[in-house]
């Protein structure tokens, strides 16, 4: 159907669909490469401009673009249980309903989501442009993980982990690691890291005979997973949390001399 809410001079298709919450810019680029997204029944070039007269389809189904949003960007903090899939690419109301998320005029986008096997703090938004900006700057943010581990955890291994700069050839940055030794076979490790994926943390310890049986993200930059947010529930990000996160992302995206 014809696109609504599009400037007269047109808009880049990636930017427009991202801002409308249809998908991230990378999603749109992938849909174009896979020939799933079409404008006027033709596969567009990457960066093609969309006008109000154009018709958009994804997998043969019309994509409805609403007029530009005048309400504030919605951002949620979601406490995800380990093993619970966070597949927001489906863009279906059933997926949001399964996760007990509030309704959205577009769809919820996950920012730097954790792998399904892990859990903890997830940040969701219905604004693709904001999601793209935060994702770009997230490499500079510190995050906190809490690990439950099985195996002979020792102080020298914790010290080695603190000094680790790569895992299987991929760079990682561990800022702090504090162990809490249990009386049995299970131990806990609190980790602060930057530009480090949870899968890297798991692989590093697995290579040394320690199994990470649970890994939870409890902080993303200035945003913490509070104790009053139960698993499987979400809440709106506060203005203070939003401002703090936006400030850190702005600083991360500043050009460096």
pLDDT tens, position by position, 138-195: 999 999 999 999 988 899 999 999 999 999 889 999 999 999 988 778 899 999 999 9
Report pLDDT digits (tens) over 197-218.
999 999 999 999 999 999 999 9
Where residue 92 falls among pLDDT bands split at 50, 70, 90? very low
Where residue 90 falls among pLDDT bands split at 50, 70, 90? very low
pLDDT at 95: 52
Q: Where are the alpha helices (DSSP H) in the chain?
A: 13-19, 25-33, 93-98, 128-137, 155-162, 198-206, 239-252
pLDDT at 35: 92
pLDDT higher than threshold 70 for residue 71: no
Q: How far apart are CA 86 and CA 83, in angstroms?
A: 9
pLDDT at 126: 86
pLDDT at 217: 98
- The pTM for the full model equals 0.72
Cα dihedral 124, 243, 196, 218 sign: negative
Residue 257, token pair as written in the block = 């001399």
Q: What is the DSSP string of 105-126?
A: SS--EEESPPPTT-EEEEEEES
pLDDT at 49: 86
High-pLDDT (> 90) share of the chain, %: 56
Domains with residue ranges and CATH for the chain: 11-62 (3.10.290.10), 75-138+223-252 (3.30.70.580), 142-220 (3.30.2350.10)
Q: How far apart are CA 256 and CA 69, in angstroms?
A: 33
Quote the DSSP letter at residue 155.
Answer: H
pLDDT higher than threshold 60 for residue 7: no
Report pLDDT digits (tens) over 37-50.
999 999 999 888 88
Of 61-70, 110-119, 170-179, least confident by mean pLDDT is 61-70
103/2: higher pLDDT: 103
Cα dihedral 75, 252, 226, 216 sign: positive
Of 2-6, 20-24, 85-89, 159-163, least confident by mean pLDDT is 2-6
pLDDT at 63: 83
Helix axis angle for 239-252 and 128-137, nearest 10°, is: 60
């Amino acid at each position: 159907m014809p696109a609504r809410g599009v400037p007269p001079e047109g808009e880049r298709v990636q930017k427009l669909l991202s801002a409308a919450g249809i998908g991230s810019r990378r999603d749109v680029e992938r849909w174009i490469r896979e020939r799933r997204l079409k404008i006027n029944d033709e596969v567009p070039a990457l960066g093609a401009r969309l006008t109000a007269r154009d018709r958009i389809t994804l997998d043969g189904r019309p994509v409805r673009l609403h007029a530009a949003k005048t309400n504030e960007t919605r951002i949620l903090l979601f406490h995800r249980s380990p093993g619970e899939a966070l597949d927001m690419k489906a863009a279906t109301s059933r997926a949001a309903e399964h996760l007990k998320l509030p309704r959205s005029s577009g769809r919820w986008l996950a920012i730097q989501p954790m792998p399904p096997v892990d859990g903890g703090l997830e940040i969701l938004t219905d604004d693709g442009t904001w999601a793209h900006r935060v994702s770009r700057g997230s490499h500079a943010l510190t995050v906190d993980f809490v690990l439950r581990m099985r195996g002979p955890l020792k102080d020298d291994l914790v010290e080695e982990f603190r000094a680790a700069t790569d895992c299987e050839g991929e760079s990682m940055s561990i800022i702090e690691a504090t162990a809490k030794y249990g009386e049995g076979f299970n131990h806990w490790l609190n980790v602060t890291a930057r530009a480090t994926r949870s899968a890297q943390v798991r692989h590093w310890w697995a290579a040394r005979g320690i199994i990470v049986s649970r890994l939870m993200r409890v902080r993303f930059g200035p945003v913490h997973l509070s104790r009053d947010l139960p698993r499987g529930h979400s809440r709106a990000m506060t203005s203070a949390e939003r401002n703090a996160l936006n400030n850190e992302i702005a600083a991360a995206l500043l050009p460096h001399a």
